[in-house]
Amino acid sequence: MNFQKIFYVVFCIFCFCIVSTGYSETISSEVSEKEISRFKQVFDQVKKSYVEDINDQTLMDYAIKGMISELDPHSAYLDQQDFADLQASITGEFAGVGLEIGLKSGFITVIAPIDDSPASKAGIEAGDRIVRVDDIPVKGLTITQVTRMLRGPKNTDVKITVFRNDLEDPFEFSLTRETIKIKSVRQRTLDNDFLYLRISSFQSNTGSDLQKLVDIYLDENPQTKGVILDLRNNPGGDLRAAITVTDVFLDGGLIVYTQGRLANSQIHYQAEVGDNTFGLPLVILINDGSASASEIVAGALQDHRRALIVGSGSFGKGSVQTIEQIDASHAIKLTTALYYTPSGRSIQAQGITPDITIEKVHVSRIEGINQSTEADLNNHLNNANNNTESTSQHRREKRISNLQLLREDNQLQEALNLLKGIQIIMTNQKTSAASNRMNNDDASNGNPE
């Protein structure tokens, strides 16, 4: 394609953008022609004088990429491979090391490692700044370019050099790429009566998977006393999945709304009537690796006072990206709106503030003297209610079990303690209310004096 044709195409696109955005009345033809002329001069100078010969199509691609990348860290110009990579991330299977990355203060930064991925197993953490991939500096590269460097055929190796905030010197991770199959929803039982749910990312089927899992679990475990939803290091993903996940815990009401310049970007998402968890106490864990869709869920449930948010402040990605197909092999991922929690909070560049802040720390036990109990004494009286006796051995075993969880994940242990406290208070309130009703009934049925 020669320069005249390219110039004509660019001019047509520019005019179309002016008209389609509704700002043609505010931009004079003189300014439009001036800017087009400036672009032509730069293009012509690069074409003529740059040290290497570059074809017209490549220069046009560079121009478009530069325009989009300057808008914000999440907008991007996608070629066929980029678009395929994006689809693979959404569907949940690709070959790589398992990192969600973003641009923060000019650095390629880890938003979150994917659960059970090579990156997660090696110890890469949210907030790590990537400075080199295979000894190639990444400063100045786009997120798309670095993502391609990190991904590759299965069983191939890649070396990643990172800076961490609390360390002065960079250090390296040598990883072997694997097929990353993201299992977005996991569950387990804590202390017999509490359901722990972990969502590692939001894929197209995450919401429906969670809904089915909760329904089956509570049907089989009616004694369940509370739920922990772990959204730590969850970089987000599919917006619709976030809506469905939130709906599992709400009995109607607004979940999130979006606002942008276009009419079709102003949307309100509502929860349907019916809480799948029947109002069970709910604690949500977040941290600075919780982004986008994770923040939608946490923000909505916090605004509705449906959940207690625990952990550290979230990432703060409150923008909506729309994929617009340009032609058969190109598309743009463009930020078209900001999303807001039901109370009108914008999460963009601020994040969700926990109701209770609990930082991730390493915990060690202070060793003490093992004290005996009454149940250890010879010829002690038996428990009158035939309950299990509390020997020092039983207490040690319970402490070891609790300490193991505390050492592995102090935030989860504290969340469980909070959930137990909420459940106890709710039970006491119900018991007290029932007792008051019985007393009132007795008084009303008594004989007047």
Please identify every residue annotated as catalytic. 292, 303, 317
Of 335, 332, 334, the C-alpha closest to 61 is 332
Of 333, 334, 339, the C-alpha closest to 87 is 333
Of 271, 227, 265, the C-alpha closest to 247 is 271
**What is the CB neighbour count within 10 angstroms for residue 377?**
9
Q: Which amino acid is present at 209?
A: D
The Cα diameter of the chain in Å comes to: 109
In this structure, what token pair is assigned to residue 284?
């949500």
Q: What are phi and psi of 164, to 5 degrees?
A: -120, 140
**Residue count of the chain:** 449
Q: Are 185 and 216 in contact (CB under 8 A)?
A: no
Q: Given its phi and psi angles, is residue 97 left (phi above 0), alpha (psi -120 to 50 degrees) or beta? A: alpha
Q: Give me Rg for the CA atoms of the chain.
A: 28
Please give the Cα distance from 289 to 100 (Å, whole number): 9
DSSP tally for the chain: helices H, then strands E: 11, 19
